[in-house]
């Protein structure tokens, strides 16, 4: 029996027929049956381009319904979908293509020339384009290609996608996600959050990460709901669309922006049944302010690229501000001693570890990293510090990993420090996250100049421009005579965070 996740989606597409799958504000619409047909054509184009089952298809394109159909086409013909942040620079893309060795790279039409160059340097044999208006060479090929009307048989543990997450050493790791990982989580979330064919998701997240791609789109497909695809988060548009929507999924920045808006009222949100938050901590204040202004308790959940969603506040029952709720059905968690992995008594703070059918099978071509984080007993070490309260709700209280989360995007300080340190005049640097009213944490650099070097903030920022995606670039750069270190010689980032804590307040 095949366990291709597309089998389940195809059944839904047949059942839902002419019902909306994806619509856009400019009047474009794909019914479910269109998704069945266009995914066959795109899958046919992939096959014609030489993509075989198990091959990676790297995709860096702007958000569009066709980009989701490409993801579905890839599942359908047994390919491995590899979405890339549209903010990544050519330098960053070179690494991903070199590491994942995709059979095809799909880029934005305007980026073709640069993409060809990068693909050539990384040995990627084919480059095609996909634009936001159903344009680009891939769609043209799909028109001509013999449709792939079947569904490639896949085993549970065959790869469906690889999503890169940055590593603490500065090298990104490709999380290998299987058909079982994605399918089990989507089915669980559909149930837990009561998704149905009646739902209309206001989709304002990017579609190159777990949140917007798998949580948003896979759950929609599982339930046969519809999605309104917005290019990005825009509060004006959200207020216009809420009377026709039922669910919003967002990072905390969405909600901090909405609560500051005078239009946020019970009337404005009357048609909505659910607001979900995740990817970064939602403050208790935002949760409470949102409830006070609308009567809706935001449902906060916790997940990771490597695990999909793990913990969630309940649909029925108390949604506790400042907590991420309880394990989803089928997911186990434990809070352990960071060194020994021995479980700690309830109430104590320790390392959060996760096990379940949602947990990935390892990092692409990094067996040692995999062994460090995915234990022999199947638990995955998240790097997040957590504790369970008396009612069984889990609180994420900090991170054991050196990671900054800015507006829901992960930034690994090491990666930014490495690029800053290449700049002439820099002796060393430390990158930290500081409380930021809009992004939750603001990426900030502290730089020590070489003796006699006359380096200024703008020069550091200019150096990073074009080398790192915008969201990784520091919002501020400070200079210090030296970096505080402990007796082991490790930079004391806590000291730095304290010193600059009011920067964005
Ligand atoms: C934009 N900028 C940012 C960010 N976004 N800087 C830092 N962090 C960011 N997240 C830059 C812009 O380039 C711009 O720079 C300036 O900040 C202001 O942009 P603005 O228009 O205000 O931003 P925006 O376009 O409204 O975007 C903010 C956003 C967006 C809506 C929060 O970043 C977003 O959609 N984030 C969602 C990320 C996400 O999907 N994460 C899920 C990962 P300049 O003015 O200099 O040009 S999946 C995950 O984490 C796990 C699995 C999970 O649990 O979900
Ligand atoms: P990513 O690597 O992009 O998948 O990001 C996963 C990380 O996001 C987790 O390890 C957490 O640090 C963070 N995260 C996700 N959801 C939450 C949440 N609700 N509260 C706090 N942190 C979260």
35 and 119 part of one domain:
yes
> Is there a domain that residue 109 lies in?
yes
**Residue with CA nearest ligand 1 atom 18:** 471
> Is there a domain that residue 170 lies in?
no
Query: Which residues are within 8 A (CB) of 238 and not within 5 positions of it... i.e. 6 or more apart?
Result: 202, 204, 230, 248, 254, 258
For the stretch 19-31, pLDDT in tens is: 999 999 999 999 9
> Is there a domain that residue 480 lies in?
yes
CB half-sphere exposure, 179, CA atoms < 13 A: 23
Residue with tokens 């680009």: 136
**Residue with CA nearest ligand 2 atom 23:** 280
Query: Which residues are within 8 A (CB) of 277 and not within 5 positions of it... i.e. 6 or more apart?
Result: 249, 250, 251, 252, 254, 255, 298, 299, 300, 301
Tokens standing for 409?
């995007």
Question: How many structural domains compose the chain?
Answer: 3
82 and 141 part of one domain:
yes
H helix or E strand, kind and range, residue 298: none
393 and 416 part of one domain:
no
Tokens standing for 325?
């709720």
Q: Among 409, 410, 412, 442, say which to mutate for ligand 1: greatest number of ligand atoms within 8 Å of CB.
A: 409
324 within ligand 2 shell (Cβ under 6 A): yes
**Residue with CA nearest ligand 1 atom 22:** 438
pLDDT of residue 166: 78
Residues 83, 300: Cα–Cα separation, whole Å: 25
Residues 112, 128: Cα–Cα separation, whole Å: 8
300 and 350 part of one domain:
yes
Tokens standing for 20?
């909306």
The mean per-residue pLDDT over the stretch 307-330 comes to 98
pLDDT at 58 exceeding the cut of 90:
yes
Range of the domain at 49: 5-18+31-154
The mean per-residue pLDDT over the stretch 95-102 comes to 97
Give the residue from 399, 432, 456 where a domain finishes.
399
> Is there a domain that residue 182 lies in?
no
pLDDT of residue 170: 66
Residues 60, 191: Cα–Cα separation, whole Å: 31
Residue with tokens 């490597």: 306
Q: Tell how far the Cα of 176 is from the centroid of ligand 1, in angstroms.
A: 24
State the DSSP string of 338-362: TTT-PBPPTT--EEEEEESTTS---
Residue with tokens 């856009």: 24
Percent of the chain past pLDDT 90, that is, above it, reads 98
Angstrom CA distances, 296 to 129, 200, 390, stand at 42, 17, 24
The mean per-residue pLDDT over the stretch 83-110 comes to 97
> Is there a domain that residue 191 lies in?
no
Please give the span between the terminal C-alpha atoms of the chain, in angstroms, as a whole number. 57
For the stretch 377-420, pLDDT in tens is: 999 999 999 999 999 999 999 999 999 999 999 999 999 999 99
Residues 56, 94: Cα–Cα separation, whole Å: 15
Q: Tell how far the Cα of 384 is from the centroid of ligand 2, in angstroms.
A: 8
The mean per-residue pLDDT over the stretch 12-37 comes to 98
Pick the atom of ligand 2 nearest to 383's CA.
10
CB-CB contact of 278 with 313 (8 Å): no
> Is there a domain that residue 367 lies in?
yes
61 and 105 part of one domain:
yes
The mean per-residue pLDDT over the stretch 138-157 comes to 98
pLDDT of residue 381: 97
122 and 145 part of one domain:
yes
pLDDT at 75 exceeding the cut of 90:
yes
Tokens standing for 319?
């949604």
406 within ligand 1 shell (Cβ under 6 A): yes
Give the residue from 399, 421, 443 where a domain finishes.
399
pLDDT of residue 168: 65
For the stretch 231-280, pLDDT in tens is: 999 999 999 999 999 999 999 999 999 999 999 999 999 999 999 999 99
3-state per-residue secondary structure call for 56-109: EEEEECCCCHHHHHHHHHHHHCCCEEEECCCCCCHHHHHHHHHHHCCCEEEECH
382 within ligand 2 shell (Cβ under 6 A): yes
Q: Tell how far the Cα of 132 is from the centroid of ligand 2, in angstroms.
A: 29
Phi, psi of 14 (to 5 degrees): -70, -45
385 and 409 part of one domain:
no
109 and 204 part of one domain:
no
Q: Tell how far the Cα of 279 is from the centroid of ligand 2, in angstroms.
A: 4
In CATH, what number is assigned to the domain containing residue 96? 3.40.50.980
For the stretch 436-485, pLDDT in tens is: 999 999 999 999 999 999 999 999 999 999 999 999 999 999 999 999 99
In CATH, what number is assigned to the domain containing residue 467? 3.30.300.30
CB-CB contact of 75 with 160 (8 Å): yes
Angstrom CA distances, 409 to 41, 148, 206, 380, stand at 33, 35, 11, 21
Burial class of residue 505, CB neighbours in 10 A (0-12, 13-18, 19+): exposed
CB half-sphere exposure, 356, CA atoms < 13 A: 24
> Is there a domain that residue 194 lies in?
no
223 and 341 part of one domain:
yes
Give the residue from 353, 382, 399 where a domain finishes.
399
> Is there a domain that residue 176 lies in?
no
Query: Average per-residue pLDDT in the chain?
Result: 97
pLDDT of residue 171: 80
Residue with tokens 């209280």: 397
Q: Tell how far the Cα of 326 is from the centroid of ligand 1, in angstroms.
A: 27
For the stretch 333-345, pLDDT in tens is: 999 999 999 999 9
64 and 110 part of one domain:
yes
Residue with tokens 């507006």: 407
Pick the atom of ligand 2 nearest to 410's CA.
3
381 and 470 part of one domain:
no
Tokens standing for 305?
């690229």
346 and 417 part of one domain:
no
Q: Tell how far the Cα of 215 is from the centroid of ligand 1, in angstroms.
A: 18
pLDDT at 167 exceeding the cut of 80:
no
For the stretch 422-437, pLDDT in tens is: 999 999 999 999 999 9
The mean per-residue pLDDT over the stretch 117-132 comes to 97
In CATH, what number is assigned to the domain containing residue 220? 3.40.50.12780
How sure is the predictor about 357, in pLDDT bands with cuts at 50, 70 and 90? Answer: very high
CB-CB contact of 338 with 373 (8 Å): no
pLDDT at 169 exceeding the cut of 70:
no
């Amino acid at each position: 029996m095949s366990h291709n996740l597309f089998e389940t989606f195809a059944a839904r597409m047949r059942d839902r027929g002419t019902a909306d799958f994806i619509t856009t504000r400019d009047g474009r619409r794909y019914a479910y049956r269109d998704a069945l047909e266009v995914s066959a054509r795109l899958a046919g184009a992939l096959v014609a381009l030489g993509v075989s089952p198990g091959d990676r298809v790297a995709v860096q394109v702007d958000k569009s319904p066709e980009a989701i159909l490409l993801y579905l086409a890839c599942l359908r013909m047994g390919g491995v979908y590899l979405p890339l942040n549209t903010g990544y620079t050519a330098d960053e893309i070179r690494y991903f293509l070199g590491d994942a060795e995709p059979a095809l790279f799909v880029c934005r039409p305007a980026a073709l020339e640069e993409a060809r160059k990068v693909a050539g340097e990384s040995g990627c044999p084919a480059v095609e384009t996909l634009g936001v208006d159903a344009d680009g060479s891939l769609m043209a090929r799909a028109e001509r290609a013999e449709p792939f009307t079947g569904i490639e048989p896949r085993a549970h543990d065959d790869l469906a996608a690889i999503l890169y997450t940055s590593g603490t050493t500065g090298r990104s790791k490709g999380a290998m996600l299987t058909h079982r990982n994605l399918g089990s989580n989507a089915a669980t979330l559909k149930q837990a959050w009561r998704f149905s064919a009646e739902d209309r998701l206001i989709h304002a997240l990017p579609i190159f990460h777990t949140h917007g791609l798998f949580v948003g789109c896979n759950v929609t497909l599982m339930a046969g709901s519809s999605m309104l695809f917005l290019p990005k988060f825009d509060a004006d548009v959200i207020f216009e669309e809420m009377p026709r929507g039922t669910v919003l999924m967002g990072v905390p920045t969405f909600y901090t922006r909405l609560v500051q808006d005078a239009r946020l009222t019970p009337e404005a949100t009357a048609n909505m049944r659910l607001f979900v938050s995740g990817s970064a901590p939602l403050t208790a204040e935002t949760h409470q302010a949102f409830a006070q202004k609308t009567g809706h308790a935001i449902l906060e959940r916790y997940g990771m690229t490597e695990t999909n969603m793990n913990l969630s506040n309940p649909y029925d029952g108390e949604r506790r501000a400042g907590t991420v709720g309880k394990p989803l059905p089928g997911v186990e968690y434990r809070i352990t001693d960071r060194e020994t992995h021995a479980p700690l008594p309830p109430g104590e703070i320790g390392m959060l570890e996760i096990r379940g059918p949602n947990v990935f099978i390892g990092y692409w071509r990094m067996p040692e990293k995999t062994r460090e984080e995915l234990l022999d007993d199947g638990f995955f070490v998240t790097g997040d510090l957590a504790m369970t309260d008396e009612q069984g709700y889990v609180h994420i209280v900090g991170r054991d990993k050196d990671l900054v989360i800015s507006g829901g995007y992960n930034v690994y300080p090491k990666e930014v420090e490495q690029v800053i340190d290449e700049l002439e005049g820099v002796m060393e640097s430390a990158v930290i996250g500081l409380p930021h009213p809009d992004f939750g944490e603001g990426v900030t650099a502290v730089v020590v100049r070489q003796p006699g070097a006359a380096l200024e903030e703008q020069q550091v920022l200019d150096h990073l421009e074009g080398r790192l995606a915008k969201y990784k670039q520091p919002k501020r750069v400070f200079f210090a005579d030296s970096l505080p270190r402990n007796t082991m010689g490790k930079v004391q980032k806590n000291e730095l965070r304290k010193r600059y804590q009011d920067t964005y307040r």
